[in-house]
Structure 1
């Protein structure tokens, strides 16, 4: 543990120091400069402090014994080759939405990373091939509108699962290069998505879509063998995109889906898979009835007002008459 209240650690300060096995930084630290801990071959564990903002170029490159990375929520900058060749990293890498810069080859040759979760915003700067040769990545999760993050893995052939959770209308990129993909989950909430041609080309893939689909070309799944397609939405989708797939063994929709077919095939089962419910639309007769009732209520108020006005006017006349009679009686006996 570094107990000195530092704000920065200088360039190459602990370069190739083989005595360091564990690092815990003080809460005052803001910047770790270039190559500060590069090639510390025995470094196994790092505890970053909240308040840290900058990790310089090559700052942890070649730390081959490091197994986990947990970034503080304050981190904004990950420099070029920052964690390159950290070949023992195996945990989920969580990239939060405060990160503004990921440099060239930042995680290149981190062969054994198996999962990446991104909360990155659209304004993040991404350098050249930050995940080059991250060859054994199995799961990619995106909880943000920065969907182009997928394109950073165009050369990765081994991703098995992708989760997309976003809040915008979007046209999704093709995933046809991910031949090992077997589970795709898309949640666009109340927004609409468009799928491209040649969207996926996997064998035995499960696809789940929660939200509205604007359009799907008929050739989106021509090279895919789909084990199950789950669609959770109230809106129907035109086209024969599932009929044109290599195979689609099962189609599941929610109880409020309006059609009996989906993608040109008959729906296999209707299940309670989502909380979406149709808004209650009133029939013409119901609307007319409500309108007449409203008119009757208004008319009733009007009649009542006139009636009360007449009563008050009559009462005023009576009061005036009584007052006049009283005056006459007092004056003339």
Structure 2
């Protein structure tokens, strides 16, 4: 008997697997819908057949003598409809759900109705045929990765009503310029990551923060004004190789790791005195940086902060700095001298290693240890003052110093 039940179970399972189920309530003129009886609303969904060519969604449909308002486009409704070229969305639609048009790579034209308020996560991701978009004035939020990998998307108009744009929303698009909406307060994580054609970002006074990797590898970006930002996230402008100008203001308090790593056209940067927290590698390998102004609000220069800034000629370390991190100025071959304040109690290993043009240095009597490789390969160093307070000199501290 158990074997019989087992065979019946297997037969039923095979029948279930062999049949694809489509959860829709009705089809009208080739468009599938789910119906909400209580509110007389209809949501566009998927069905047996893929949508193709041009689709115009009506604002209302009739079913069994009852009229329904079409108010949303459902989850994955048009997903991977490879032959879909154009879609017209009526004013009645207020929401486009997650992945609604995901990977419709031949979709070129989208006309949005004026009732739309929300575009969900991955809604148009991988729609590589879209070149330009105008979003409706009714829109207030754009979900995570909504237009990610829309490689051909060169321009988009975002209404000022939008207050939320999710992370990765325009990651790896072909955008050349963007005007940020007035209601937007934060540039989210990865928002424009690897937008290799992005040259211009027009901001406004309301931008309060720059998320992690927000402009990572935006290699054509030349300048940006973020004068009211409170923080700059990790890797935010990393490898923006044509970035020459960044305007920040006294609202800035935190700069996170790798923020401007390898921005080799950045020549100068003023770290305002309002900054009290900085992380590692923030300006590492900014080869053309000749001038840096360090905030009086910080007490620690982080590890590798200016590592590889080979054009840096001079730097003024504020009096309230207490420590200099490992390899902080490693490879700053343009430095000829540097004044270390008396209050500094710790200088990390390799902090001035490979500063090949450093001629002289006076160490303050507030330090007791010269860490390993501190002046390694400082081949031009001919004068150094070591205070009596120093009790430990690490291995390689003066290796190859003439």
TM-score between the two structures when normalised by the length of structure 2: 0.51
Contact 1:57–1:82 under 8 Å retained in 2: no
Query: Equivalent residue for 2:294?
Result: 174
Query: Equivalent residue for 2:153?
Result: 29
How many Å separate the matches in 1 of 2:398 and 2:236? Answer: 27
Does residue 215 of the first structure (1) align with residue 340 of the second (2)? no
Unmatched 5+ stretches in structure 1: 279-333
Does residue 271 of the first structure (1) align with residue 390 of the second (2)? no
- How far does residue 99 in structure 1 lie from its aligned partner after superposition? 0.4
- How far does residue 101 in structure 1 lie from its aligned partner after superposition? 3.7
How many Å separate the matches in 1 of 2:208 and 2:358? Answer: 48
How many Å separate the matches in 1 of 2:367 and 2:329? Answer: 16
Query: Equivalent residue for 1:232?
Result: 354
Query: Equivalent residue for 2:202?
Result: 79
- How far does residue 156 in structure 1 lie from its aligned partner after superposition? 2.1
How many Å separate the matches in 2 of 1:45 and 1:142? Answer: 20
How many Å separate the matches in 2 of 1:127 and 1:171? Answer: 15
Which is richer in helix? 1
- How far does residue 136 in structure 1 lie from its aligned partner after superposition? 6.6
Q: What SS is found at the alignment partner of 2:342?
A: coil
Contact 1:33–1:57 under 8 Å retained in 2: no
Map 1:254-265 → 2, pairs under 5 A: 254=376, 257=379, 262-264=384-386
Q: Cα gap change, 1:250/1:36 in structure 2, threshold over 3 Å: closer, same or farther? A: same
Bigger Rg over Cα: 1
How many Å separate the matches in 2 of 1:127 and 1:82? Answer: 12
- How far does residue 9 in structure 1 lie from its aligned partner after superposition? 2.4
Query: Over residues 238-280 of structure 1, what are the superposed CA-to-partner deviations in whole Å (9 max), with x where a residue is unaligned?
Result: 242x2x2632522423368476864546892453999x999xx
Map 1:1-333 → 2, pairs under 5 A: 1=102, 3-4=107-108, 5-10=129-134, 12-13=136-137, 15-17=139-141, 20-24=143-147, 26-35=150-159, 38-40=162-164, 43-58=166-181, 61-62=184-185, 67-69=189-191, 70-81=193-204, 84=207, 89-91=211-213, 93-94=215-216, 96-104=218-226, 108=229, 113-120=233-240, 124=244, 126=246, 129=249, 132-133=251-252, 135=254, 137-143=256-262, 144-149=264-269, 151=270, 154-161=273-280, 162-168=282-288, 170-183=290-303, 184-189=305-310, 191=311, 193-196=313-316, 198=318, 201-203=321-323, 205-206=325-326, 207-212=328-333, 214-218=335-339, 220-230=340-350, 231-235=353-357, 237-240=359-362, 242=363, 244=364, 246-247=366-367, 249-251=369-371, 252=373, 253-254=375-376, 257=379, 262-264=384-386, 268-271=393-396
Query: Over residues 54-98 of structure 1, what are the superposed CA-to-partner deviations in whole Å (9 max), with x where a residue is unaligned?
Result: 11132782579x5433141111111214993579x4457525441
How many Å separate the matches in 2 of 1:14 and 1:168? Answer: 45
How many Å separate the matches in 2 of 1:141 and 1:172? Answer: 13
Contact 1:7–1:28 under 8 Å retained in 2: yes
How many Å separate the matches in 2 of 1:44 and 1:116? Answer: 13
RMSD: 4.4
Q: Cα gap change, 1:133/1:58 in structure 2, threshold over 3 Å: closer, same or farther? A: farther
How many Å separate the matches in 2 of 1:216 and 1:198? Answer: 15
Aligned residues: 265
- How far does residue 138 in structure 1 lie from its aligned partner after superposition? 4.8
TM-score between the two structures when normalised by the length of structure 1: 0.59
Unmatched 5+ stretches in structure 2: 1-101, 109-128
Q: Cα gap change, 1:60/1:124 in structure 2, threshold over 3 Å: closer, same or farther? A: farther
- How far does residue 16 in structure 1 lie from its aligned partner after superposition? 0.9
Q: Cα gap change, 1:138/1:270 in structure 2, threshold over 3 Å: closer, same or farther? A: same
- Which structure has more relative contact order (CA 8 Å, sep 6+)? It is 1
- How far does residue 178 in structure 1 lie from its aligned partner after superposition? 2.3
